[in-house]
Structure 1
Amino acid sequence: MDFLKSAVASAISKGPAFGYSFGDRVDIDDSIWTLYNGTKREDGSKCSIFSFDASANKSRLPLARNALRKLRTLRHPGVVKVLDTVETESYIYIATERLSPLSWHVKRKSLTEETIKWGLHNVAKTLKFVNTDATSVHGCIRPGSIFFSESGEWKLGGFDALSSMKEDDAVLPKYGSLIPDSTRYMPPEVSKGGWDVIRQNPTHAIDAYNFGTLIFECFNGSFAGSDQLGQMKNIPPSMHQTYKRLLNPSPKSRMSVSQFLEQGRRVGGFFQTPLIQVTEDIDNLGLKADDERDELLGKLDEVADDFPADFFKMKVLPELLKSVEFGGGGAKVFGTVMQIGAKLSDDEYDTQITPVVVRLFANPDRAIRVCLLDNLPNMIDHIPQKIVNDKIFPQMVTGFTDLAPVVREQTVKAVLTVVPKLSDRIVNGELLRYLAKTANDEQPGIRTNTTICLGKIARNLGSNNRAKVLTAAFARSLRDPFLHARNAALLALAATSDLFGEEDCATKLLPVMCSSLVDKEKIIRDQAIKTVDIYLARIKKHAQSMPDTVLPPPSLTAVGGAATPRMGTPANDSASWAGWAISSFTNKLAAASGEIQSGSNSTTTPQQRPSSVPPPTSAKSQKPSLSTTKSGMTLKNHSASIPAIVGPDPSVASEDAEEDFDDGWGGFEDGGETKVEEEVDPWASPAPTSSTSKGYDDQGEPDFAGWLAAQSKSKTTTKTPLPKGLTKSGLTKSTRPVVGGRASTTGSVAKKVVVQPKKEVPKTVAPAKNEDEDEGWGDAW
């Protein structure tokens, strides 16, 4: 093999320029030619090269030169296509399209009946042209003279003895005996009278007989001699009669190949097969009406298994693409294109389909755009990422804002297909901007699909803005009036729960999901429960890894030397929620000194006051005292203007044990009025007390209503405005607020205490700081 290649290369180097390179040798039947696989040097395209060595086979040189001359001049779709030729005194080279011998498939019996009929039909059309139009005789019809092209079509070659009977120096009568293996395929009249008798018989006689032997060999796998031709077991019954007429011993009574072709094309004839009909009609696909096109495509699906795969690639596919792009083939034709394209290699796909797809995306026809988007999953794997980013996506985004809802919806669905091949810049920029528009589309189905799309491409989003985008999008969808949009948001939240931080889950997502727990639709409520459970489980798991507290240890003291408040340990029973959380008093029992004085029975206190009014404090107690200012109430020696709440004294627990909480909670009685003792203004400056006086603890809360009434009364004299947030709508001359009574420790009915007009309070000027604090406090209330 290496010797042959080197010899051929040496011969080429000494002869005329030949722009093709020799490859592997291809084995064929006995022939004067040696067949090689080759490539074109210019572009690397595939080809075949027929080589004839003149120095080694001089006797058959006239046959080789005849084949070269006929191939240069004869042009027909069924004839081998010649690319280039070179002829010298020592060799002849013929470069053709890439071919493979039919004899390979015949010997392996790898051809189906439908494929054989389709191939015989092609050869019959070519022989009709040779015999009728060219008035010539081929003289060498056999499997070794027929080749498969790259498209799988049967092409006629072997024109070594092709002769016109009008020529005086015809090759066949003179050199017919030099044809390899001619005796086996020789007609009976030639066997008896030699090759010269062909001039006395019809032009088609020899080729018709050889066509009959070709039929026998294709269906049986081999042909040894004329004795086998009577065995028609493997030949289709519909062809028996015409087959016999092709092999008629009398050349003048023999059926021509043209007649055989017409007989097979009749209604119900053996050439009326879907495969042949598709081949006949595929060239005119763009000119057919819609119903005819649909019928043809239906037949194409039926014969997909019988067709050679290469025929779909080389012949059917280009015609289908033309029909889609220029002939209005529509979605159905493009669907067939995708079926064929699935069998192509990446290089073939880039060459044949990708350029057409790019041009179709630029087509403004909505039907074509929807067709492309529907079939995008079938072709996205074959399209390079650069083409998707630079050529397809810029045209695709026009569908997001199209007036037709179906285009917008299909564009949103197609995002899932193209997003793996989009750059991060496009995904987190342009794509999100368009999805934000479709998320607010007027069509509820498009809004729903946008939510689903965001949930599925969530992991393709950038980690920096992923949580922010998804939180805003899903929160909006949860408020959507469309049922399925809300359900899609909950499903998306459940599927993307791992993409959010625990803090976002607790503070941003759970609050917006909780409203769905009471949605009017049961399907939403059920899904909301499932989704909330997912987030709660995650938060609980995270909470277990958190520290118990971030407060300093109890051994450390607070700033200023004060002891750190002691944290109570709640009980494990059901009433633990009612226990005191923090005890303001430490374990210094000495702080609780003195005698407990009852608020109702005390005889040492010269005057009574409402139970909720804070008692005046002594200088010894060092507690902040209340003072009345022009702007309202302030606390001395305290930075905030919030009334101090006196904590309960454990020593009075025995007296409060029988207190009526029902009466005390309401603060008002429906019975008759009780006698109310005169009381001084509780918000006036307290009178100085001796150091021996004891503080009064009524264990209640500040009397806000009493303070409000006092402020209303003092307004007439001091013109003091009410704090912000309080209006005088509830204070009139006809109705005076009643301070809530305190239940007696003896179980008697609580007294109603009516606020008496207070004495005029001297005007005092409060510091600016306290005035500001009062204003702020009013706002807080």
Structure 2
Amino acid sequence: MFKFLKGVVAGSGSGPNNLPYNIGDPYPSAWGSWTHHRGTSKDDGTPVSIFSLSGSNANDGHLAAGRNGVKRLRTVRHPNILSFLHSTEAETFDGSATKVTIYIVTEPVMPLSEKIKELGLEGTQRDEYYAWGLHRIAKAVSFLNNDCKLVHGSVSLASVVVTQTLDWKLHAFDVLSEFDGNNEASTGPMLQYEWLVGSQYKPTELLKSDWATIRKSPPWAIDSWGLGCLIYELFSGMKLSKTEELRNTASIPKSLLPDYQRLLSSMPSRRLNSSKLVENNEYFQNKLVDTIHFMEILNLKDSVEKDTFFRKLPNLAEQLPRQIVLKKLLPLLASSLEFGSAAAPALTALLKMGSWLSSEEFSTKVLPTIVKLFASNDRAIRVGLLQHIDQYGESLSAQVVDEQVYSHVATGFSDTSAFLRELTLKSMLVLAPKLSQRTISGSLLKYLSKLQVDEEPAIRTNTTILLGNIGSYLNEGTRKRVLINAFTVRALRDTFSPARGAGVMALCATSSYYDVTEIATRILPNIVVLTIDPDSDVRSKAFQAVDQFLQIVKQYHDKTNSGDTTGAASGGIPSGNALLGWAMSSLTLKGKPSEQTPVASANFRCASYLCPL
């Protein structure tokens, strides 16, 4: 631990073999003489970026500037400045020559120039993304100049990198130095390493090394010029090769042009302060900037503002650059839901964004948040989770459902709200197949037993249909103990006619689970009574069921007479699959009448009772 800390503070002097990170392939470009590598942690494989700078001896000027950059990056912290993780310095011997290399390890980033090519944004989406990025860099430069009284000295496209969430970060601190404007009598250079900066990026006073003028100028003068260079390179798509190119403003957005010209004023005292640049409401106010800004200060918003914002977000997300939505907005949204700062309507937006991910990405970026949300005490969140369970339920593993999700969902069975009880019941169509036999027998069936006598008739009906659908997931002993009693003793005797009809259908759908003795002594006697039911729909279903079960008994009689006893004790199911399919479709398509497939009139009349309470 001491050796590691020594390396962080002053360079451990150990070679890269002792660096707790693996150095990967380099990017094609980097600021100055640095090389920007991809990298990973040797401990857990976490991605990082590794910057390396080599010199022929320890007194090399580039190395001295590099050490300044390491010191500054380590001590200056800001959300829009590259995050420092580790540094070290190593000596290697190649024959008679000695090479000294500085390594800086940071959060994983890539050069802005490379990310722009990768994203390939065009038109309005490109301009919105550039506005958001420039807003971030202007904030970072303002922090250095106005709050810390520091001068970066080399702001350009090369000094900007992009994180995995597409945030722009400022780095390249080799030239960075204190602004000593109070020491006007001094004639020495204020920026010790300004010789590292290309002449095309230097304002006139820095090009002439006019330190007296620089000290009399505001602390932002040099970096405001650098921001102008960054804006030119960004919109022109070309690296600045000479200062005169900055006069070519054809590619600069009209709303940004006046500020661009003020950043590049020939008089240092008249250059625009970067803190004023971000106040350009016309350029920096767009859908992307406003959306991300709202998400980042969500805790400061009241409930009405949050509710309005999240109801609009699903449609708004479709208009924003897809990669930015998935890499920036989606993580922000997931985090705000997990920590309770987002309103329940945010769940709809989360699932919509999640639908744009691959199944693997959905499982890693969205499902963990959903699983955590099941433990929420917010009833609106619980309702939202259950209403949309068909969108993510199949992605939940059996272990997660049984160990982490079910116990929270099950509280809804006893909720005082009939609407929540029904949503909980219907969610079992997705969750029950993933439950263990122990959970089904020891918990779920007990809850369903209570719901069969619920005060709400629609819930009693849906409970019977659910039992018919999950029959195949019960073991044989449980089926024999539960199903016939649930359908004959309770459902067929319910005062609500659709519940009686559901009981008949459930028996037909599960007919293959009963032996001929149970059919003859327990099922048929109870169904025959319903052939004189006051409700015509129940009577029709009862006659169909009697025919089906009598056919099973007749098949048993024929096999017995012929001496074939194979399967004679068990029933068959000529049409049960169709009924089971109907029940599942009715539940799945709840609330979506326009999508329902036309069914037989008798079935449709019963399905009408499966609507929300």
Give the TM-score normalised by structure 1. 0.61
- The one-letter code of the counterpart of 1:114 is E
1:465 to 458, 478, 484: 478
Alignment of 1:49-198 (within 5 A): 49-55=50-56, 58-87=60-89, 90-108=100-118, 110-111=120-121, 112-166=126-180, 173-179=191-197, 182-187=198-203, 190=206, 193-194=208-209, 196=211, 198=214
1:237 to 254, 258, 269: 254
- Match of 1:520, SS? coil
CA contact (8 A) 1:100 1:147 kept: yes
CA distance 1:504–1:78, change in 2 (3 Å): same
Alignment of 1:579-658 (within 5 A): none
Aligned residues: 528
CA contact (8 A) 1:161 1:175 kept: yes
Confirm whether residue 209 of structure 1 aligns to residue 222 of structure 2.
no
Alignment of 1:220-369 (within 5 A): 220-225=236-241, 226=243, 228-262=245-279, 264-265=280-281, 269-298=282-311, 300-301=313-314, 302-303=316-317, 305-306=320-321, 307-323=324-340, 327=341, 329-340=342-353, 343=357, 354=368, 357-358=371-372, 360-362=373-375, 364-369=377-382
CA distance 1:134–1:286, change in 2 (3 Å): closer
CA contact (8 A) 2:390 2:430 kept: yes
Pairwise CA RMSD of aligned residues? 3.5
CA distance 1:53–1:347, change in 2 (3 Å): same
Matched residues in 2 for 1:336 and 1:504: separation?
Answer: 51
Displacement after TM superposition at 1:178 (Å)? 2.4
Question: Which residue matches 2:528?
Answer: 514
- The one-letter code of the counterpart of 1:248 is S
Higher helix proportion (structure 1 or 2): 2
Matched residues in 2 for 1:143 and 1:393: separation?
Answer: 51
Which has the larger displacement, 167-176 or 108-117? Answer: 167-176
Which has the larger displacement, 513-522 or 433-442? Answer: 513-522
Deviation per residue, 1:744-767 (Å, 9 max, x gap): xxxxxxxxxxxxxxxxxxxxxxxx
Matched residues in 2 for 1:512 and 1:190: separation?
Answer: 98
Matched residues in 2 for 1:303 and 1:337: separation?
Answer: 10
Question: Which residue matches 1:412?
Answer: 425
Question: Which residue matches 2:509?
Answer: 495
Matched residues in 2 for 1:188 and 1:198: separation?
Answer: 10
Matched residues in 1 for 2:244 and 2:443: separation?
Answer: 77
Matched residues in 1 for 2:43 and 2:218: separation?
Answer: 46
Matched residues in 2 for 1:213 and 1:519: separation?
Answer: 86
Deviation per residue, 1:55-103 (Å, 9 max, x gap): 3793312321121111122111110011122235622221111111111
Matched residues in 2 for 1:78 and 1:392: separation?
Answer: 38
1:451 to 444, 461, 464: 464
Displacement after TM superposition at 1:157 (Å)? 0.8
Displacement after TM superposition at 1:478 (Å)? 2.2
CA contact (8 A) 1:136 1:165 kept: yes
Q: Whose relative contact order is higher, 1 or 2, with alpha carbons under 8 Å and at least 6 apart?
A: 2
CA distance 1:503–1:228, change in 2 (3 Å): farther
CA distance 1:170–1:497, change in 2 (3 Å): farther
- Match of 2:337, SS? helix
- The one-letter code of the counterpart of 1:87 is E
Question: Which residue matches 2:493?
Answer: 479
CA contact (8 A) 1:82 1:96 kept: yes
- Match of 2:349, SS? helix
Displacement after TM superposition at 1:154 (Å)? 0.8
CA contact (8 A) 1:162 1:171 kept: no
CA contact (8 A) 2:530 2:542 kept: yes
CA distance 1:402–1:316, change in 2 (3 Å): closer
CA contact (8 A) 1:163 1:171 kept: no
CA contact (8 A) 1:78 1:155 kept: yes
Matched residues in 1 for 2:170 and 2:506: separation?
Answer: 63
Matched residues in 1 for 2:395 and 2:522: separation?
Answer: 42
Which has the larger displacement, 288-297 or 118-127? Answer: 288-297
Displacement after TM superposition at 1:140 (Å)? 1.9
Matched residues in 2 for 1:107 and 1:221: separation?
Answer: 10
Matched residues in 2 for 1:107 and 1:379: separation?
Answer: 34
Give the TM-score normalised by structure 2. 0.76
- Match of 1:457, SS? helix
Question: Which residue matches 1:402?
Answer: 415
Matched residues in 1 for 2:190 and 2:515: separation?
Answer: 89
CA contact (8 A) 2:337 2:343 kept: no
Question: Which residue matches 1:600?
Answer: none
Deviation per residue, 1:234-283 (Å, 9 max, x gap): 54332233233333344443323222211x23xxx221223222332323
Matched residues in 2 for 1:235 and 1:538: separation?
Answer: 81
Matched residues in 1 for 2:238 and 2:552: separation?
Answer: 75
Matched residues in 1 for 2:511 and 2:176: separation?
Answer: 78
CA distance 1:356–1:417, change in 2 (3 Å): closer
- Match of 1:270, SS? helix
Confirm whether residue 36 of structure 1 aligns to residue 30 of structure 2.
no
Alignment of 1:554-573 (within 5 A): none
Displacement after TM superposition at 1:532 (Å)? 4.5
Matched residues in 1 for 2:247 and 2:65: separation?
Answer: 32
Matched residues in 1 for 2:180 and 2:395: separation?
Answer: 55
Displacement after TM superposition at 1:207 (Å)? 2.2
Matched residues in 1 for 2:460 and 2:142: separation?
Answer: 64
Deviation per residue, 1:420-470 (Å, 9 max, x gap): 221122223332122111111122122112112112211111123325522
CA distance 1:474–1:169, change in 2 (3 Å): farther
- The one-letter code of the counterpart of 1:61 is L
1:422 to 426, 435, 442: 435
Deviation per residue, 1:706-727 (Å, 9 max, x gap): xxxxxxxxxxxxxxxxxxxxxx
CA contact (8 A) 1:101 1:148 kept: yes
- Match of 1:465, SS? helix
CA distance 1:313–1:365, change in 2 (3 Å): closer
Which has the larger displacement, 533-542 or 130-139? Answer: 533-542
Matched residues in 2 for 1:415 and 1:392: separation?
Answer: 11
Displacement after TM superposition at 1:531 (Å)? 4.3
Matched residues in 2 for 1:507 and 1:56: separation?
Answer: 98
Matched residues in 1 for 2:178 and 2:128: separation?
Answer: 33
CA distance 1:440–1:336, change in 2 (3 Å): same
CA contact (8 A) 1:21 1:40 kept: yes
CA contact (8 A) 1:29 1:103 kept: no
- The one-letter code of the counterpart of 1:91 is T
Deviation per residue, 1:639-660 (Å, 9 max, x gap): xxxxxxxxxxxxxxxxxxxxxx
CA contact (8 A) 1:275 1:303 kept: no
In our comparison, the structure showing a higher alpha carbon Rg is: 1
Alignment of 1:652-731 (within 5 A): none
Matched residues in 2 for 1:172 and 1:428: separation?
Answer: 78
CA distance 1:368–1:261, change in 2 (3 Å): closer
Deviation per residue, 1:22-64 (Å, 9 max, x gap): 2333332453212222223344322211122233793312321
Question: Which residue matches 2:608?
Answer: none
